[in-house]
Chain A
Amino acid sequence: MTDTKPTTPTVTATIDGREITVPKGTLIIRAAEQMGILIPRFCDHPLLAPVAACRQCMVEIEGQRKPMTACSTPLADGNVVRTHLTSEVAKDAQEAQLEFLLLNHPLDCPQCDKGGECPLQDQTLAHGAPDSRFLDDKRRYEKSIPISPQILLDREKCVLCARCTRFSQEISGDPFIELFERGALEQVAIYEDEPYESYYSGNVAQICPVGALTATSYRFHARPFDLRSERGVCNQCANGCNLRVDVRHGEIQRQLAHDNSDVNESWNCDKGRFGFEYVNHADRLREPAVRDDLGNLRPAAWITAVRRAAAGFRAAMEAGGGAAIGVLTGGRITDEDAYAVSRFAREVLDTDNVDFRLAPRTEEERDVLGAIAGTVGPTYDTVEHAPVVVVAGLDTEEEAPILHLRLRKAVRQHQQRIVVVGPVAGSLAEIAWRWIPTAAGDEAAVLAALAADRQPGDAALHVIDVPPADARRPDASTASWPSSRVPARGSADDPVAASSITAAGGGPAPDAAAPPETGRPPSVRGRCSTSCARRCAAARRWCWRGSGWPSRRARCAPRPAWPPGWAAGSPGARARPPRGAGWPRGGGRAPGRGGGPGPPPARSPRRGAGCPPAPAWTPAGCWRPPPGARSRPSTWSASTRPGTSRTRSSPRRPSSGSTP
């Protein structure tokens, strides 16, 4: 591959007296990093576009009148660059910026969550002034305010580097945080009544170079220097994000995304970041239990439990041979564990009845799994650099969040074309190039038609141009499902779900003539009850209630829950989970993705998760963008975007699983 690529032009320059050759266009700050010279920076992030706002990375370039920002200036051939290590001008400029940044900084490091791992603190210690010349009034704001259930914002500490806002614009594509006001009053804020509801919100707390954005789940829990960090791989879905798990006294305090450019780059999703509380949950099984004669489970010693199990196995084998035994592992154990169990089942128990699925979805799934077992799939890099990607029956943001970020990056940086095959374009509507709507489950037929080179216009193939501005899902009130396709979701014994689906237009008999008055489905989450607040408190989770934010709707972050109908014993439980039933799906896809039994972290329901979306498909034709939908520039205001209702368009059942 590499030899067919045209060779990239390079430039040779000198940094601090040492020569370096780098590809043309390399920023000075990156080139210096390669040489082991760390130029201080706040706003710069290698995965975000340069903005040169903090002015901390000033270096001196021979021939330039003024010091230049290393984070935004590409190294040019023959440049003689001097950093703070060799240049008084650069050192002076950097120290001055540090002094400016600290003017309005509260300097409350001893009680700040970031203390100990704070770039501002580190740089001040490294080369800041020992004393402040600032005698006057600092800018003061209300202390940490929640901008979402997971994220707290302390504007006093903010150095306005715009990393968070750029992340939400460029990477995650849900710009619910922006810079407001100007001058010394400039501040990060959220839109009126629009909390920062992003699946990736935890990343902004991680990339914040000061303690301005912090995670509620970690706030005041530990000190960085008290933590023991372990590397790990996230087990919440099949994406395999690298994690840094921080442990204190044997308890997980937080999880951070660990850099791995081949997988998750520097990001992960909130599910992976915050979904660790099950590990230490009181309800978790910590010791074996054995049923007594009355059928009650009693805690027992391991040896007792093992002997009892062995006796059970032996009895079963004597009665009916190995075929009488089945082994179900669940989809969340590691490859190694799965292999060991499988060998044990086949060799000791003499049975082939081994499965990792608790509930098989479809018959064809078995063939697919058989076909892909043991193969190595395409890498993220392959996906990113593919000119065209076909996504069939997958809502990437819901089911493979990091893949979604890769696709977004590919569209942004490589003009990738994405073809979506499925009932909805879902989260890909923003970036998809074409969308081929199908009924749920008919994706395979469409793929076959595509493979057979049937042309658009064929009865099986309705290709729709999805302009980037399309709403994420069609207007629910104008779409209807064919009655045979109605999922089992809105069954009569599930009144909440049934009513919400009907109101959203996706129910069995949508009344197209009577769309919801506001065009927005009623929230099924409703107000937060006192008991909910108590449960949140018990789960150490931040709750909207009593947050001191009176203008906001009082509500709770949804409690950890199995998706609707998934947990056995809940009302309306079904043998088969609904399509797109959120988080267990990725984990259940292949054996060997280990994981815990617990629920995902609290997250505001946004779209899609538990509910089959109103389809974009009608038998007679296909859905078209509503009149007036038009393309928008890549950075737009969330308040004016079409179908802003990402937080609203998807009624989701209140979490029923955990409170049967």
Chain B
Amino acid sequence: MPEPVKVLTKRYEVEDAHTLDGYVRTGGYAALRSALGSSPEQLRQLVKDSGLRGRGGAGFPTGVKWGFVPQDTGKPIYLVINADEGEPGTFKDRELMERDPHQLLEGIVIASYALNCTRAFIFLRGEYLWPGIRIEQALAEAYREGYIGRDVLGSGVDVDITLHYAAGAYICGEETALLEALEGRRGQPRLRPPFPAVAGLYASPTVVNNVESIANVPHIVEHGAEWYRSMGTEKSPGPKLFCVSGEVVRPGNYEWPLGTPARQIVEESCGGMLEGRALKFWAPGGSSTPLLTAEHYDVPMDFDSIAAEGSLLGTGAMMMFSERTSVVDAVLNWTKFYEHESCGKCTPCREGVFWMAQILERILEGHGRIEDLQTLDDACDNIFGRSFCALGDGATSPIKSSLKYFRNEYEQLIERGRLPQEYAAHAGVVTDNSGMHRPSQLVRR
């Protein structure tokens, strides 16, 4: 059985880890010094060897991504840190930036050096005020002490880091929309190709990495690829922050090696499900990942095992729900989120999610018809794989998977016209955005 690890979270208990003093005292910036001793090529190879996979959701190998960047175009190379953590249920980067911002900065400096990049950007979710303050303070300290800026630690390497507060749009977590927004335009995804590695920010080669991915880099540099591969599975090595929320005793961020069974994480770290509540369904990696049920409780939490169960590891945001929660209610809540956050660029996502939200709402209001389930299913099929970016795909995941596992609940709801008494209203559902901008508000009745 895997044991919990303390790699990214090793300074979470240290009171002043967010200050430069506290960070350096606990061994910080040692990896940067050793990285500056090796060549960029060696560093890129090291990350490739470590098998680090992107933690933003797609799980693409970070080292391979770095290798795609052409080094001889004569254009500057940019590193952009995707800190626009908007996936419902995900809060790993937030704590990471609040508690240990220097870890991220050290990772950025090393990655920039490895990529021959002199200007990195942190694209921070607009609502993240406290992480922003911590990062700003950390940046000021690191600049002052020469860890960032001109001639880092006397090595002749220049790395500048710019913190950019985003305006708070979920779509800007999509990397091309992020780049559009960073350039000052409307946050809508770009046509690919060209891919960001070739023509990203300001039409220059650009690497977009998640906060957690980059935070892994100093540890890989410090302890080596071999050590890194000792954690996790062969194809998904390393530690992972799991953000567990929902009807568990102690929700929070917990670091485990990839491949740890979900049950172990919930039972050992979170104290299990709430008293008297049994697991009914859960999302393994945020709301964009298809739901799983109690029978998948023992699935190992790594990219491939979860994919084999028909879902995605995503960001590792495990949302656990018990019998007290209506799956239709939860799905409606997520669908409203996607309806609100769809950027509007492409037809299927803009219109399809708008439609699905209305159907779900109608079913919950007691006006559902049995044909609606077929319509929902068709709409999901027509959005998935046909929308411009992955937002539309993600929006179909909860609906499609809940129809797969809980069709009878939909049918009962349509028959009875209301939820059974035992369901708590919005139990375990994080937000109630039913009052958000529905187009119906525009209707002048």
A136/B347 contact (C-beta < 8 A), A100-B352, A104-B354 known: no
Find chain B residues with CB under 8 A from A56 CB. 347
Measured as residues with beta carbon below 8 angstroms from the partner, the interface class of chain A is 35 or more
Alpha-carbon separation in the docked complex, A54 to B349 (Å): 10
Within 8 A of A (CB), among B375-429: 375, 378, 381-382, 385-388
Interface pair B386/A136, CB less than 8 Å apart = no
Chain B 189-215, CB-CB to A under 8 Å as 1, else 0, gives 001000000000000000000000000
A66/B386 contact (C-beta < 8 A), A140-B444, A184-B354 known: yes
Q: Which one, A52, A99, A100, A104, contacts B388 given CB within 8 A?
A: A52
In the complex, how many angstroms separate the beta carbon of A621 from the nearest chain B beta carbon?
35
Interface pair B191/A100, CB less than 8 Å apart = no
Chain A 63-106, CB-CB to B under 8 Å as 1, else 0, gives 00111000010000000000000000000110011011101100
A55 at interface, CB cutoff 8 A: yes
Interface pair A136/B439, CB less than 8 Å apart = no
Q: Which one, A137, A183, A633, contacts B443 given CB within 8 A?
A: A137
Find chain A residues with CB under 8 A from B354 CB. 103-104, 139, 183-184
Find chain B residues with CB under 8 A from A101 CB. 347, 351
Interface pair A183/B350, CB less than 8 Å apart = yes
Interface pair B443/A140, CB less than 8 Å apart = yes
Interface pair A136/B443, CB less than 8 Å apart = no
Interface pair A184/B386, CB less than 8 Å apart = no
Find chain A residues with CB under 8 A from B358 CB. 136-137
- Interface window among B79-87, B270-278, B338-346: B338-346
A635 at interface, CB cutoff 8 A: yes
Alpha-carbon separation in the docked complex, A101 to B347 (Å): 7
B441 nearest in chain A by CB position: A185
In the complex, how many angstroms separate the beta carbon of B56 from the nearest chain A beta carbon?
21
Interface SS of chain A: loop
Interface SS of chain B: helix
Q: Which one, A65, A66, A99, A137, contacts B440 given CB within 8 A?
A: A137
In the complex, how many angstroms separate the beta carbon of A300 from the nearest chain B beta carbon?
60
Q: Which one, B345, B387, B439, contacts A139 given CB within 8 A?
A: B439
B437 at interface, CB cutoff 8 A: yes
In the complex, how many angstroms separate the beta carbon of A188 from the nearest chain B beta carbon?
11
Within 8 A of B (CB), among A264-307: none
A344 at interface, CB cutoff 8 A: no
Find chain B residues with CB under 8 A from A65 CB. 385
A100/B439 contact (C-beta < 8 A), A67-B386, A184-B354 known: no
B362 at interface, CB cutoff 8 A: yes
Alpha-carbon separation in the docked complex, A406 to B234 (Å): 58
A51 at interface, CB cutoff 8 A: yes
In the complex, how many angstroms separate the beta carbon of B100 from the nearest chain A beta carbon?
34
Alpha-carbon separation in the docked complex, A99 to B375 (Å): 11
Measured as residues with beta carbon below 8 angstroms from the partner, the interface class of chain B is 35 or more
A101 nearest in chain B by CB position: B347
Find chain A residues with CB under 8 A from B440 CB. 137
Alpha-carbon separation in the docked complex, A635 to B348 (Å): 26
Alpha-carbon separation in the docked complex, A66 to B362 (Å): 31
Interface pair B183/A183, CB less than 8 Å apart = no
A97 nearest in chain B by CB position: B347
A67/B385 contact (C-beta < 8 A), A139-B442, A160-B344 known: yes
B6 at interface, CB cutoff 8 A: no
Interface pair A184/B347, CB less than 8 Å apart = no
Interface pair B347/A183, CB less than 8 Å apart = no
Find chain A residues with CB under 8 A from B186 CB. 178-179
Interface pair A635/B439, CB less than 8 Å apart = no
Chain A 119-144, CB-CB to B under 8 Å as 1, else 0, gives 00000000000000111110111000
Within 8 A of A (CB), among B133-170: 169
Interface pair A53/B388, CB less than 8 Å apart = yes
B223 at interface, CB cutoff 8 A: no
Find chain B residues with CB under 8 A from A181 CB. 344
Find chain B residues with CB under 8 A from A633 CB. 183-184
Alpha-carbon separation in the docked complex, A587 to B307 (Å): 69
Find chain A residues with CB under 8 A from B184 CB. 633
Find chain B residues with CB under 8 A from A29 CB. none
Interface pair A66/B385, CB less than 8 Å apart = yes
B387 nearest in chain A by CB position: A55
Chain A 377-416, CB-CB to B under 8 Å as 1, else 0, gives 0000000000000000000000000000000000000000
Alpha-carbon separation in the docked complex, A136 to B351 (Å): 12
A337 at interface, CB cutoff 8 A: no
Interface pair A160/B350, CB less than 8 Å apart = yes
Interface pair A55/B388, CB less than 8 Å apart = yes
Alpha-carbon separation in the docked complex, A54 to B346 (Å): 5
In the complex, how many angstroms separate the beta carbon of A356 from the nearest chain B beta carbon?
50
Alpha-carbon separation in the docked complex, A58 to B348 (Å): 12
Interface pair B344/A136, CB less than 8 Å apart = no
Find chain A residues with CB under 8 A from B12 CB. none
Interface pair A100/B362, CB less than 8 Å apart = no
Find chain B residues with CB under 8 A from A141 CB. 442
Alpha-carbon separation in the docked complex, A136 to B359 (Å): 8
A185/B439 contact (C-beta < 8 A), A50-B191, A100-B348 known: yes
A5 at interface, CB cutoff 8 A: no
Q: Which one, B347, B352, B381, contacts A54 given CB within 8 A?
A: B347
Alpha-carbon separation in the docked complex, A228 to B340 (Å): 46
Q: Which one, B171, B347, B353, contacts A53 given CB within 8 A?
A: B347
Q: Which one, B169, B345, B355, B371, contacts A100 given CB within 8 A?
A: B355
Alpha-carbon separation in the docked complex, A140 to B440 (Å): 8
Alpha-carbon separation in the docked complex, A140 to B355 (Å): 14
A365 at interface, CB cutoff 8 A: no
Interface pair A135/B442, CB less than 8 Å apart = no
Interface pair B439/A179, CB less than 8 Å apart = no
A249 at interface, CB cutoff 8 A: no
Within 8 A of B (CB), among A145-178: 159-160, 178
Alpha-carbon separation in the docked complex, A159 to B347 (Å): 8
A93 nearest in chain B by CB position: B386
Interface pair A97/B444, CB less than 8 Å apart = no
A103/B386 contact (C-beta < 8 A), A182-B169, A183-B341, A633-B183 known: no
Find chain A residues with CB under 8 A from B341 CB. 182-183
A186 at interface, CB cutoff 8 A: yes
Chain B 11-24, CB-CB to A under 8 Å as 1, else 0, gives 00000000000000
Interface pair B382/A184, CB less than 8 Å apart = no
A97/B386 contact (C-beta < 8 A), A139-B439, A185-B439 known: yes
In the complex, how many angstroms separate the beta carbon of B68 from the nearest chain A beta carbon?
20
Of B340, B346, B353, chain A has the most CB atoms within 10 Å of the CB of: B346
Alpha-carbon separation in the docked complex, A103 to B344 (Å): 14
Interface pair B351/A93, CB less than 8 Å apart = no
Of A133, A159, A185, chain B has the most CB atoms within 10 Å of the CB of: A185
Alpha-carbon separation in the docked complex, A186 to B345 (Å): 8
Alpha-carbon separation in the docked complex, A316 to B231 (Å): 110
Alpha-carbon separation in the docked complex, A507 to B177 (Å): 49
Alpha-carbon separation in the docked complex, A212 to B33 (Å): 61
In the complex, how many angstroms separate the beta carbon of B382 from the nearest chain A beta carbon?
3
Interface pair A55/B386, CB less than 8 Å apart = yes
Interface pair B344/A183, CB less than 8 Å apart = yes
Find chain B residues with CB under 8 A from A160 CB. 344-345, 347, 350
A184 nearest in chain B by CB position: B354
Chain A 615-652, CB-CB to B under 8 Å as 1, else 0, gives 00000000000000000010100000000000000000
In the A-B complex, list the 3 residue pairs whose CB atoms are closest, starting with the nearest: A186-B344, A96-B382, A184-B354
**Sample of 6 further A-B pairs with CB below 8 A, known A183-B340, A184-B439:** A53-B388, A66-B386, A100-B348, A104-B351, A179-B186, A184-B354
Which of B's residues lie within 8 Å of A, judged by CB?
Answer: 169, 171, 183-186, 191, 339-348, 350-355, 358-359, 362, 371, 375, 378, 381-382, 385-388, 437, 439-440, 442-444
* 21 A-B pairs whose Cβ atoms sit less than 8 Å apart in the complex: A51-B191, A51-B345, A53-B345, A67-B385, A93-B382, A96-B382, A100-B352, A100-B355, A100-B382, A133-B375, A137-B439, A140-B439, A159-B347, A179-B186, A182-B342, A182-B344, A183-B340, A183-B343, A183-B350, A186-B343, A633-B184
Which of A's residues lie within 8 Å of B, judged by CB?
Answer: 50-56, 58, 65-67, 72, 92-93, 96-97, 99-101, 103-104, 133-137, 139-141, 159-160, 178-179, 181-186, 633, 635
